[in-house]
Structure 1
Amino acid sequence: MKRAVAGGAIALALAVLCTPVLAEDLDFVLTNNSSFAVKSFFTSPADVDTWEEDVFGENYLPAGNYVTVTIGDGREQCTYDMKFIMEDDSEFIEKGVDLCELGEYTLSDAQ
């Protein structure tokens, strides 16, 4: 009886160790300290040459506000490029931001 329990515990431990690790969502706080609202916000892993879908969709981020952004793309990646389209249709691109390390990003007019 003890051997069956021990064998079952070993099998369970091996099953847990052999299960693939699922990528977690990446959450960070995006603060808009610029003079304009952000009407569109795109991200892309730094090693990818195309932009993902607009994170905001129908929404926007007014000047002086912040929002928690979740990137749920299934990748185990921390470094992203970001593209902001402002309400005056100007664009700003920030490349190679390590969002895991920072946990936040602040957009300002000085950029």
Structure 2
Amino acid sequence: MNLLKSTALAGFALCIATTARAEDLTFTLENATSQDIEMLQISTVASSSWEEDILGNDVQPAGTNATITIADGQSVCEYDILITFADNTTIEDHNVNLCDLGTYTAHE
């Protein structure tokens, strides 16, 4: 009986862990540059194209922080990031573990 109970509890714990990883991913984007961020595109590493601009019509001013939420229902942590600035320069960063990072800083 104890083995059955332990197996059931282990299965329940696994379900909880899996569910927790599928929640929205939130991190801080720090713009440590002298340019406004006009576009922020984030795609899973497995994707062959960039997702839509997360900022939409908004911009993130130079020297500010913003809370970014990725509500894609994915249970992954590694993403590719493409940032486009007001002067049309870009930063492209690959295989960024946003689950562990907490804050992603854009530098010049």
Shorter-chain TM-score bucket reads: 0.7 to 0.9
Partners of 2:67 and 2:96 in 1: CA distance: 16
Q: Please, what is the CA RMSD of the aligned residues?
A: 2.1
Residue 36 of structure 1 is matched in structure 2 by 35
Partners of 2:47 and 2:30 in 1: CA distance: 24
* CA displacement 1:45-102 (0-9 Å, x = unmatched): 1111111110000001010001000000000011100001100011210111101111
Partners of 1:44 and 1:71 in 2: CA distance: 10
Percent of aligned pairs sharing the same letter = 37
Question: Structure 2: 5+ residue runs without aligned partners?
Answer: none
Residue 3 of structure 1 is matched in structure 2 by none
Is 1:108 the counterpart of 2:107? The answer is yes
Partners of 2:93 and 2:46 in 1: CA distance: 14
Aligned length: 97
Residue 77 of structure 2 is matched in structure 1 by 78
For normalisation by structure 1, the TM-score amounts to: 0.79
Question: Structure 1: 5+ residue runs without aligned partners?
Answer: 1-9
Residue 54 of structure 1 is matched in structure 2 by 53
Q: Once superposed, which parts of structure 1, at least 4 consecutive aligned residues long, lie more than 4 Å away?
A: none
Amino acid at match of 2:73: G
Q: Displacement, 1:21?
A: 3.0
